[in-house]
Every structure is written in structure tokens, then in C-alpha cells.
Structure 1
């Protein structure tokens, strides 16, 4: 294992964060996790992992706190930011503030405290408007505030790298889904929303004609990519985190229905937002060749895991089946 043993993880209780931390703890890392618990919560963290991590409640926009937490650590994995495009649409000021001010605090603290490496979450949304599959060398012209804020992060990271010599590696996750997405509620990945609706006897709601695609990557694979980026001998750079495969929404419903033994005929509705990606598909060769990253969970296996987890959780969160109805309240 690389020398980055003591690590600060921001957004540690979030969906990717808690799954990534579980793997890192098993691999011998010492973790301090910062989270404001706006979306994530310690109740979603495995009991054994919770006891092994130093949990700190706070906000990445608090520079004094970030400066304190980065003293003496070997590396930082920065995940703290709104995870959904819809969160930025609903509260653009807060979304952009967390994403940009919080990241600038991280960069400055990493510089001043001489932290060995920063790995941070960007987004595949920076590519929208380009032809698929998306490659890291494409020209970026983000169409929405989330993608624009993340592109700013990448540019700020490169500036800090050029001026101050820090190493900052940005990962661009594609459509991350998985077994314990309950904390995200209506902001969860469509695979989780479809499964929750189906198990509750609800008709899944599908925007458009269902032929839109996503490069679905399982959450534990996404978390492992961040760990690999921390461990690898890298210069400042950006990498896609996906599977290299695209799957239509109609296909995901077919897979879920087949697994449950039911006919999942969705209710097709007009897409209620102006900016919407019809295709997301990663070119993964750079991550494969440089990080050695190869996803291990197929979409078929991932759907089986989501179904099993949702069945187990129905008694704890009986309202999950209604979460997709959130989409019908969006203004057009």
C-alpha cells in the first residue's frame, strides 16, 4: 500500500464516501471523516466501520475546521458537494457555494499543510454536449451549474498544482448506484428508484421514451477507484470512473422485472427539465491503463444487490416506493 495511510475524507457519510471508507478501513487506512449529514448520515454506515473512523460533523466551507483536520494527514479525498443536478436546480446558491468555496478551502489547506495528495470528485456532467463515449481530452462547456462548478474545481486544482506543486487528481464518476442508497431519497439513482417503486407495487415513472442511456457503475467500484487514485504514483490529472458500457433505462427495467418475476411496464412522461443528458458513456481506457481500474460488478449483478438490499430495508423505510414520485413535482 502507498504511504498515504492517514487520510481525511470529506463527505464521508455520503453514498460513495461510506462505501469507499469501508474498503479503506479493511485495507488498514486510518480515516477521519467530515460530513454535515445533510444527505448522508452515520446511521447508514456499517456499525463496525463506524467505530473504526473518527467522525467529525462540520462543513467544508469552514476553513478553520478544514485547516485543523488536514494537519498531519497524508492525503485528502474530497467528496463533499451536492451529488444531484436537481439539488443545484433547487438551491443554486448553496450548491455552488459548497462546491466552489468548500473546494477552495481544501486546496488552500492542502497547500499550507503540505498534504501529499488530494483526490477529489468531479462529475461526468462536465462532458455534456460532446459526442459519446466521453474521453478525458474533450473540450468542456458545461451546460448547467453543477457541471460548471465542478469544471471550476478542476481548473482551480490545476492552478494550485502549477503554482504551488500540489498533486490533485480529479475523478469524473458516471452514474453511480448501489445497495444502500436510502439516504439520498428522491435524489437516488434511477436503478434504486425503479427497484423501490417495483417492490412497493408502484408503477415506475420514466422520462421520455426510455431509450436514454447511462454508464452505470456500482458504488463499491466507484469507491475503489478513489482509493486507487490515492495509492497510484500520479501527477495532477483527471480520470473517468465508469464501466465503458451504456445501458438504456428500458433495459434496466427489463432486468429488474426479470429478477423480480414481474412485468415492469413504466409510465412514460415528458422530461420535465430543460437540460437533460440523453446518453452518458465513459471511455475508460485511461483509468484502466494508468490507475489499473477495472470495475467488478456488472449491471445485472448490481441490480440483484440493490433488490436484495431494498427487500431487507422495507420495514425500516416503508416510504421508499414513493420517492420517485418526487420527479413529478419538478417545474418544466
Structure 2
């Protein structure tokens, strides 16, 4: 039987709020624990605001989690810093929220006899491997975000083996979409490029623009989590991507087409030591085992991002973002 009473941690976040919208349409009862750190509760869309039990709190607070988990059919765990930059700015906080939070979720589920967890890992665990990235690859995380998420996968598997719960880990690739405004300078590069161009600024590209990402639209990513919740599968991990590489230069060209203007980016050297030149998901397991396939291609996704940004121009000031595209330059030297 499909679980219907769900706790979502980080439900007010970018993936969470888009995922919850689909779940509500499908008859789920949703509660969410969120610290509202990125963007605040004001970014919760009106169409879901009054249909979810929103609880402000921290997953590191086990006493807060235990009563929220009680009586639920399953948990979807999304709460963690979303950007590599967040871990670089505050390594202790980033790792603490990620690992301590997940451990508390697992322990609260064990104590309440809840049998199903779907949680967010990251494609960053693969970096250093050849592309396309396949779930069975050896993982040697290059940075603290990836290391913390790898630890989460191992902890989830241990709880699964010891206590009989099912833990499905999803490794999202480059998630972007129409309502990333709450993320500000931490937003996906597609949004940052579009916002810069709408503001009349030159988009800044690290390197020559031929680096690639497997861009997956946020609504598809949210649907992947719901699909994992509904499938009767044993503990394992899945890539959440499209299986298609797109270069930054191709993204800029698509944005230019939508805006009807020629793109004149500024190319600069890559200012950080750890930087992926290619991100590309092998999606065979997701398609064949999970039954998930993306529906929105990059060109359609770019069209939606540009359209949403245009509609928001009266209330958003892209130039007021904290130097978003070159933000890594403010970090300590590597």
C-alpha cells in the first residue's frame, strides 16, 4: 500500500516545495520540518501554504523530530545545505546539519517503527570518476559536502540492515527551475545566467564554457522523490538526472534565444581548486528499476526559468544578489 501520511524535512526548500505540490494533488497528507534558513517562509507558494503542517525547527533536535515522525507512514529527508559553497563558508555547520540531521531522522524512525525513508544524497559523491556516473562506482568524495552525503548513505544502509527499514537514496544532478529566487546567489547557473542577462549584465563563465552539467528540472526532481516513495524497492541509491550533457555555452545560447538578443559572456579563469568539468548521469537504473524518466528537457526548462524571471522583474533585483556568479572568489584561498 502506498504510504500517504508523510513527514518531509526541508519541505520549504527548492525541491521540497515543488515535490509537495505534486504530492498534495495525489492525496498525501504532508507535515514539514524546516528551519527556513534559505529565503524564509515567505517563499512557500500560496497554493501549498495552507495545506501543509509547517513546523519551524532543526533536524539536529531529536526531541523535536520524535513527535513529528510518530504516526507517519514514511519520511522524505531533504533538509541539508544545498550548495557546495555553504560547506566551504561554514564547514562545521554544513557537515553537522547533513550528518547529525540524517542520523536523527533514522533514529526517530527506528524509535517510532517507521519503515520507509527516501533521502537526498548528491551527484557530487562521484566527482573524480569518469562520466557517465553509474551508481555502482567507487565513491571517493573530493570535498566536505560529498563526504557528508556519502556518510549519510552508509548510515542509511546500516540502519536498513540492522533494523529492517527501507532507505532509498537519490543523487540529484544539477537541479534548476522557475522559482529559485529564494536561493539567491546559491542558485543554479541557469538561473544566475538568466537573471544577469535580464538585468543587463554580462554573464560570467568560468573557463571556456564547454564544461557540462546534467541539468534536471526541479519538478522532475521532485517527482523522482515521490516515485521512490511509492515504489516497493529494497534499500539502494539512484541517479536523478536526464542522461544528457549540456554545456554552459549551449545554455547561454538558449537563454539568448528566449530573450531575443545576442549573448556576450565574460570568460574568466576557474577561481577554485575543486571544480567538475563534466557532470553526466547514467540513468539506466532509474529508468529500469525505479521507473523514473525526466519529462522536461533543458530548452523547455530554460524557457520556464526566463518566463518566471520576467514575471518577477518588478519584485526581484538580480543586481542586489551578493555578486552571485563570482561568489567563490570571496572564499579563503585553496
* 1:189 alignment partner in structure 2: 188
For residues 331 and 267 of structure 1, the distance between their equivalents in structure 2, rounded to whole angstroms, comes to 23
Q: What does 1:137-216 align with in structure 2 at a 5 Å threshold?
A: 137-216=136-215
Aligned length: 331
* Secondary structure of the structure 2 residue equivalent to 1:238: strand
Q: What does 1:217-236 align with in structure 2 at a 5 Å threshold?
A: 217-236=216-235
* Secondary structure of the structure 2 residue equivalent to 1:16: helix
* Secondary structure of the structure 1 residue equivalent to 2:50: helix
Deviation at 1:320, TM superposition (A): 5.1
**Partners of 2:196 and 2:318 within 8 A in 1:** no
Deviation at 1:272, TM superposition (A): 1.1
Change in Cα spacing, 1:314 to 1:328, as seen in structure 2 (3 Å) is farther
Deviation at 1:321, TM superposition (A): 6.8
* Secondary structure of the structure 1 residue equivalent to 2:182: helix
For residues 127 and 325 of structure 1, the distance between their equivalents in structure 2, rounded to whole angstroms, comes to 25
**Partners of 1:272 and 1:330 within 8 A in 2:** no
For residues 321 and 311 of structure 1, the distance between their equivalents in structure 2, rounded to whole angstroms, comes to 16
1:97 aligns to 2:96 (yes or no): yes
* 2:74 alignment partner in structure 1: 75
**Partners of 1:199 and 1:321 within 8 A in 2:** no
Deviation at 1:67, TM superposition (A): 0.9
* 2:330 alignment partner in structure 1: 329
* Secondary structure of the structure 2 residue equivalent to 1:176: strand
* Secondary structure of the structure 2 residue equivalent to 1:52: coil
Deviation at 1:327, TM superposition (A): 4.2
Change in Cα spacing, 1:328 to 1:197, as seen in structure 2 (3 Å) is farther
**Partners of 1:14 and 1:41 within 8 A in 2:** no
TM-score, normalization by structure 2: 0.97
Q: What is the RMSD computed on CA atoms of the aligned residues?
A: 1.1
For residues 62 and 180 of structure 2, the distance between their equivalents in structure 1, rounded to whole angstroms, comes to 29
* Secondary structure of the structure 1 residue equivalent to 2:141: coil
For residues 141 and 109 of structure 1, the distance between their equivalents in structure 2, rounded to whole angstroms, comes to 29
**Partners of 1:185 and 1:320 within 8 A in 2:** no
User: Deviations along 1:222-251, whole A, 9 cap, x unmatched?
Assistant: 000000000000111000000000000111
* 1:13 alignment partner in structure 2: 12
Gaps of 5+ in 1: none
Change in Cα spacing, 1:138 to 1:325, as seen in structure 2 (3 Å) is closer
* 2:291 alignment partner in structure 1: 292
For residues 285 and 320 of structure 2, the distance between their equivalents in structure 1, rounded to whole angstroms, comes to 38
* Secondary structure of the structure 2 residue equivalent to 1:37: coil
* Secondary structure of the structure 1 residue equivalent to 2:296: coil
* 1:255 alignment partner in structure 2: 254
**Partners of 1:273 and 1:331 within 8 A in 2:** no
**Partners of 1:132 and 1:282 within 8 A in 2:** yes
For residues 303 and 320 of structure 1, the distance between their equivalents in structure 2, rounded to whole angstroms, comes to 20
Gaps of 5+ in 2: none
User: Deviations along 1:63-92, whole A, 9 cap, x unmatched?
Assistant: 011111100000100000000001000000
TM-score, normalization by structure 1: 0.97
**Partners of 2:115 and 2:164 within 8 A in 1:** no
* 1:84 alignment partner in structure 2: 83
**Partners of 2:88 and 2:331 within 8 A in 1:** no
* 1:28 alignment partner in structure 2: 27
